[in-house]
Amino acid sequence: MKHTYFLKVGGAALASVLGAAAAPAQETRVEYTAEAQDAEAQPRSATSPGPGLLERSVAWVERKLESNSGPKDGFYPTMGGIIPGDGWLSAGAGYRHRLGGGPSFVNTSASITERRYVAAQSTVAWPRLSAGRLSVATQVAYQDFTQVSFFGIGSAAPESARSNYRLRQAGAIASAAVHARSWLAIGGRVGYVRGPVIGPGLSSSYPSTTDRFDEQSAPGLTSPINFVHTETFVEADTRDAPGRPTRGGFYRIGVSGFRDIADTGHGFGRVDLDATQYLPLFNGNSVLGLRSRVTLSRAADGHEIPFYLLPTLGGFNTLRGYSSYRFRDRNAALWSAEYRWPMLRMVDAAVFVDAGTVADDVRGLVHTQFASDYGLGLRAHTASRSIASVDVAKGREGVRVMVSMTAPFGTSHRVVAPYVP
């Protein structure tokens, strides 16, 4: 006889470290359908077999991962990469301490990847001021990204022009958000970035950007730029479990400004539009995810946008069939769809398709030929969060295999430069 089992998980929609407090806990319902006897109507006989060793082991792992998913005080290992293209392996540690026993906390962490990408940060956050209506945070950070890919600017940049550069920067940022509803946040950020310093990339597989390009073809390449950046944003998040959504959506509008302090001719503004919706299908056992993202940039008169701050497409978060940062220009548009369904208790299968383009002006987003890809993936997860994803994607430049510790369609606000979609 078929029965459906329901697992209730008390989850908190943790917002970005910089800009939004944790939303009130929501109840997530995850359904499992299996062949089973009704234990109440038909008690198990002494000879009836119990759950097998594999089933018990998987259930134990899931319980452990769920119990360790929430933030805790003390030292913890950092998991997952720093930015797309940083390599397959990452290691690091952090320390978190609550202030006064309440929700406010101090968090410090550092990570390094096998490609020698380094990121370190320290954050102080007050996520539930004014009865949970206000969140405030500050952060200082240092990043050293040793081999970021650059192919040139424009949708026609050839794959053969691939180069790599090293970007080092330090900065500070402060943010605040008002939570008008449990699902709605309105806020802003202001920050300062010293540098970034651009140098030769450390990859021996491709030439250095500093050798292949110049200031004209890659603005901002030859001189460090110190700038102040600001952003005003509105976020609506109705996802049932941000770590592994099965229904609801995430919608965001952000308006940013970058002011070149020394007036070296690199000031500009940017608008980011992001919309993602999850639709449960077949009694909630399968999910269709739809995403659209548009980024529009405009430089001040007589100014150029630094090449490392131009919107990009390519890699796990955008066009999965192309290299990270494959396409970049002032404006970018992306559309993605993914359908996932359960294979095992903690593993989903997925099929997906992506399409996007970049252009120098807004009209070019309509008239420029789109790059597209399609593929298959596996999603390891618990009831309320993603553990790892593996994707095999095919675009016009070949087949790519990607492994990530974050869920597809994820958003990133961890770094200011380079631009990370």
Sign (positive/negative) of CA torsion 208, 212, 218, 220?
A: positive
* Residue 412 counted as domain residue: no
pLDDT tens-digit profile of 41-86?
Answer: 444 444 555 566 656 666 666 565 556 556 678 998 887 778 988 8
* Residue 419 counted as domain residue: no
* Residue 223 counted as domain residue: yes
* Residue 77 counted as domain residue: yes
pLDDT tens-digit profile of 260-302?
Answer: 998 888 999 999 999 999 999 998 889 999 999 999 999 988 8
DSSP string, 83-94: STTS-S-EEEEE
**Amino acid symbol at 298:** R
* Residue 337 counted as domain residue: yes
Give the pLDDT of residue 57: 62
66's tokens: 């769920």
Strands 371-381 and 347-359, sheet pairing: antiparallel
- State the greatest distance between any 2 C-alpha atoms of the chain, in Å, as a whole number: 83
* Residue 236 counted as domain residue: yes
Range of the domain at 20: 2-404
pLDDT tens-digit profile of 387-415?
Answer: 889 999 999 999 999 988 777 887 655 68
d(CA 393, CA 373) in angstroms, rounded, equals: 6
pLDDT over 50 at 326, yes or no: yes
Number of domain units in the chain: 1
105's tokens: 């906390």
291: domain CATH number is 2.40.160.50
pLDDT over 80 at 172, yes or no: yes
d(CA 80, CA 26) in angstroms, rounded, equals: 25
pLDDT tens-digit profile of 123-168?
Answer: 999 998 988 899 999 999 999 999 999 999 999 999 999 999 999 9
* Residue 421 counted as domain residue: no
Give 330: exposed, middle or buried? Use CB within 10 Å, 0-12, 13-18, 19+.
Answer: buried
d(CA 91, CA 145) in angstroms, rounded, equals: 15
* Locus of tokens 């559309």: 335
* Residue 268 counted as domain residue: yes
Number of Cβ within 10 Å of residue 197's Cβ equals: 14
